[in-house]
C-alpha cells in the first residue's frame, strides 16, 4: 500500500475530478455555472436555458434552445404503464422513495441506454450515433423528472394524472401537472411559475456534492444513466443533504414561535438539536443562493400571503448569526434554510420538498455524468483504496471450542 493516505473524514478537502461545469468559492460565497454568476442567471436566464448551459457548456442560440426545449418537453411523457407502478406504493410512501425507484424503473424501458446490453463503447466521443443517443437519454431524464415527480404527488392525493397543454414552459408544465384540479383552461400563476423556475435554476448544480459524487461513482461502472440518477436521488434524500429543506420546516414547526428560539439555540449548542439549513462543507459564509431565495420568498408571499413560520425563521436566523457558537464554526444559512418556506407557501406537502430539489438537480447530475462519459481516455471506474487497520492473520476456531 505504498503512498496511500486516507483523505480527511467525509472527503474533506479532497478533489477527485477536474471539471469545467460549476465554480464555487466557499470563502467569498461565489457560485458560477460555466463562468456565469448565479446572481445574473437567476435574473436574466431561465432554468431550462441554464440547463443547456450546464450540460453543453455555452448559452444556446435561439434555434439550439428551441430544439432543446422541444425535445425535453416531447420526452416528458411517461408510458401509461407507469401509473400501475406508482399505484403499487402504500398511501403514505415518501415521494423521494417513489422518485428514486421510478428512475430505476424508467431505465428498464430503454435498453439502448444500457451499456451492458450495447457493449462497452456506448456514449463515446466522436461517434455521432452514440452522442445522439446520449442526448436522447438526457432529454428523457430531464423531461420525465417533472412527470415522475407529479405522478408521485398525484397518486398520493388520489388524483388522476394529467398531461399539460402545449405552450407552457418546462416549469409551467410541471406546476400545471402538480396543481391542476380539473378546472377548465387552468393556467398556473405566472409569479409562482417564475419563482419556482428561479428555485429550479438555483438548485440545478453545485459541483461535487454528495449526490453528484454518487451519480459519478455509480456511472463510472458504465451502468445506464437512469440507474445512476436513481442512486443520486437516494443520496440527496438524506437530511444532511437535499432532505434538509424538509427538516428545516419540521424544525421551525417544532420551535413554534420566535419566543422559543433562544431555548432552541441553547439545545443546539448542547448538541441536542441540529440547526437545519445552516452550515455547509464548502461555504464558510452565507450561501449566495440563500439571498436570492429570500428575495424570491417575498415575491411569492405577495401572492400566497406570508407564512407564520417566517417570523420564527427570521428570529432563528438573526439569533444564530449573532452567536459565536455558529460564527466561530462558520455556520451560515445554506440553500435549504428558506426554500421550504416558499414550497410550503405554494401548497406543496413537506415530504415533497426534497423532490423539488431532486427535479432540477437531475440537470447537474447529467452535466457531470456527460462530462465523465466524454472525458479524454474514456471512463475509469471509481475504485478508491483503504488503509487496513483490522486484525492480523487468525486461525478458524470451531464454534464448540469458542469461549
Ligand atoms: C446541501 O455539498 C453541497 O454543495 C450540498 C448542497 C448542494 O447544493 O448540493 O449545497 C445542498 O446539502 C446544503 C446542506 C443542507 N444540510 C443541512 O442544512 C443540514 C445541517 N447542516 C449540517 O448537517 C452540516 O453543516 C453539513 C452536513 C451541511 C456540513 O457538514 P460538515 O462540513 O461535515 O461539517 P461538520 O459536521 O464537521 O461541522 C463542523 C462543526 C461541528 O462542530 P464541532 O464538532 O467542530 O464542535 O460545526 C457543527 C458540527 O457539530 N455543525 C453544526 C451544524 N453544522 C455543522 N452545529 C449545529 N447545526 C448545524 N447545522
Place of cell 463503447: 121
Q: Report, as an integer, the average pLDDT of 338-353.
A: 94
ipTM: 0.97
Instruction: Show which residues are catalytic.
Output: 280, 336
Give the mean pLDDT of 72-88.
93
pLDDT category at 118 given cuts 50, 70, 90 is confident
Any ligand 1 atom below 6 A from CB of 334: yes
What is the pTM assigned to this prediction?
Answer: 0.95
CA neighbor of 312 nearest in space, from 250, 370, 246, 373: 250
Place of cell 444559512: 333
360 pLDDT more than 60: yes
Note the pLDDT of residue 368: 98
Residue to mutate (ligand 1; options 279, 280, 281; most atoms within 8 A of CB) = 279
CA distance 367 to 162: 29
H/E stretch holding 32 reads strand 30-33
Distance 281 CA to ligand 1 centre (A): 6
**Edge-first strand listing for the sheet containing 22-25:** 22-25, 30-33, 36-37
- Confirm or reject: Cβ of 368 under 6 Å from ligand 1: no
Share of the chain above pLDDT 70, in %: 99
Non-local (6+) Cβ contacts of 45 within 8 A are 36, 53, 59, 201
Look at ligand 1, atom 40, and give the residue with the nearest C-alpha: 329
Any atom of ligand 1 within 6 Å of the Cβ of 354: no
Which atom of ligand 1 lies closest to the CA of 277?
A: 18
Cβ(212) – ligand 1 distance below 6 Å = no
Grid coordinates representing 334? 445554506
pLDDT band for position 180 (cuts 50, 70, 90): confident
Q: Which pLDDT does position 181 carry in this prediction?
A: 72
CA of 331 to the centre of ligand 1 (A): 8
pLDDT of residue 2: 66
* Secondary structure of residue 302 in the 3-state scheme: helix
Residue among 7, 32, 280 whose CB has most ligand 1 atoms within 8 A, to mutate: 280
Report CA Rg, the chain.
22
Integer Cα distance of 403 and 88 in angstroms: 49
Q: For residue 209, report the distance from its CA to the centre of ligand 1, in Å.
A: 12
The residue nearest atom 50 of ligand 1, judged by CA position, is 271
Ligand 1: distance of its center to the CA of 93 in Å?
27
**What is the rounded average pLDDT for all residues in the chain?**
94
Instruction: Compute, in angstroms, the gap from residue 364 CA to the centroid of ligand 1.
Output: 21
Question: Could you tell me if the CB of 277 is within 6 A of ligand 1?
Answer: yes
Q: What's the pLDDT at 401?
A: 97
- 331 CB under 6 A from ligand 1? yes
Cβ(281) – ligand 1 distance below 6 Å: yes
pLDDT classification of 378: cutoffs 50, 70, 90? confident
Rounded to the nearest angstrom, the distance between the alpha carbon of 148 and the centre of ligand 1 is: 30
Q: How confident is residue 123, by pLDDT bands cut at 50, 70 and 90?
A: confident
pLDDT of residue 182: 67
Is any ligand 1 atom within 6 A of the Cβ of residue 165?
A: no
Q: What is the pLDDT of residues 5-23, one digit of tens each?
A: 787 788 888 899 999 999 9
Q: Which three cell numbers stand for residue 173?
A: 408544465
Determine the straight-line distance between the first and last CA of the chain, rounded to whole angstroms. 35
For residues 338-356, average pLDDT? 95
Whether the CB-CB separation of 163 and 151 falls below 8 Å is answered with: no
Could you give the angle at which helices 170-179 and 128-156 cross, rounded to 10 degrees?
Answer: 30
Amino acid at each position: 500500500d505504498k503512498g496511500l493516505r486516507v483523505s480527511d473524514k467525509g472527503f474533506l478537502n479532497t478533489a477527485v475530478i477536474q471539471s469545467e461545469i460549476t465554480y464555487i468559492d466557499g470563502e467569498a460565497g461565489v457560485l458560477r455555472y460555466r463562468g456565469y454568476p448565479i446572481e445574473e442567471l437567476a435574473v436574466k436566464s431561465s432554468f431550462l436555458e441554464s440547463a443547456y448551459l450546464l450540460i453543453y457548456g455555452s448559452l444556446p442560440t435561439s434555434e439550439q434552445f428551441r430544439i432543446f426545449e422541444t425535445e425535453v418537453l416531447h420526452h416528458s411523457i411517461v408510458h401509461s404503464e407507469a401509473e400501475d407502478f406508482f399505484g403499487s406504493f402504500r398511501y403514505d410512501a415518501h415521494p423521494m422513495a417513489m422518485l428514486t425507484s421510478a428512475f430505476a424503473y424508467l431505465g428498464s424501458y430503454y435498453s439502448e441506454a444500457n451499456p451492458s446490453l450495447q457493449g462497452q463503447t456506448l456514449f463515446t466521443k466522436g461517434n455521432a450515433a452514440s452522442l445522439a443517443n446520449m442526448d436522447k437519454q438526457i432529454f428523457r431524464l430531464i423531461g420525465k423528472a417533472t412527470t415522475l415527480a407529479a405522478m408521485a404527488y398525484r397518486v398520493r392525493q388520489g388524483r388522476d394524472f394529467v398531461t399539460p397543454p402545449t405552450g407552457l414552459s418546462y416549469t409551467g408544465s410541471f406546476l400545471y401537472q402538480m396543481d391542476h384540479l380539473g378546472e377548465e383552461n387552468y393556467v398556473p400563476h405566472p409569479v409562482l411559475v417564475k419563482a419556482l423556475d428561479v428555485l429550479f435554476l438555483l438548485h440545478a448544480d453545485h459541483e461535487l456534492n454528495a449526490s453528484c459524487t454518487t451519480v459519478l461513482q455509480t456511472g463510472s461502472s458504465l451502468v445506464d444513466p437512469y440507474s445512476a440518477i436513481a442512486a443520486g436521488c437516494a443520496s440527496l434524500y438524506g437530511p444532511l443533504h437535499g432532505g434538509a429543506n424538509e427538516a428545516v420546516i419540521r424544525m421551525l414547526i417544532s420551535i413554534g414561535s420566535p419566543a422559543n428560539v433562544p431555548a432552541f439555540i441553547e439545545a443546539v449548542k448542547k448538541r441536542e438539536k441540529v440547526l437545519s439549513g445552516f452550515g455547509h462543507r464548502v461555504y464558510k459564509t452565507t450561501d449566495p443562493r440563500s439571498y436570492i431565495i429570500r428575495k424570491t420568498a417575498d415575491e411569492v408571499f405577495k401572492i400566497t400571503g406570508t407564512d407564520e413560520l417566517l417570523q420564527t425563521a427570521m428570529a432563528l436566523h438573526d439569533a444564530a448569526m449573532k452567536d459565536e457558537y455558529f460564527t466561530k464554526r462558520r455556520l451560515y444559512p445554506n440553500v435549504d434554510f428558506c426554500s421550504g418556506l416558499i414550497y410550503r407557501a405554494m401548497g406543496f406537502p413537506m415530504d415533497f420538498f426534497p423532490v423539488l430539489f431532486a427535479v432540477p438537480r437531475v440537470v447537474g447530475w447529467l452535466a457531470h455524468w456527460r462530462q465523465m462519459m466524454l472525458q479524454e481516455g474514456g471512463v475509469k471506474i471509481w475504485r478508491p483504496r483503504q488503509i487496513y487497520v483490522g486484525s492480523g492473520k487468525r486461525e478458524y476456531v470451531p464454534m464448540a471450542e469458542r469461549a
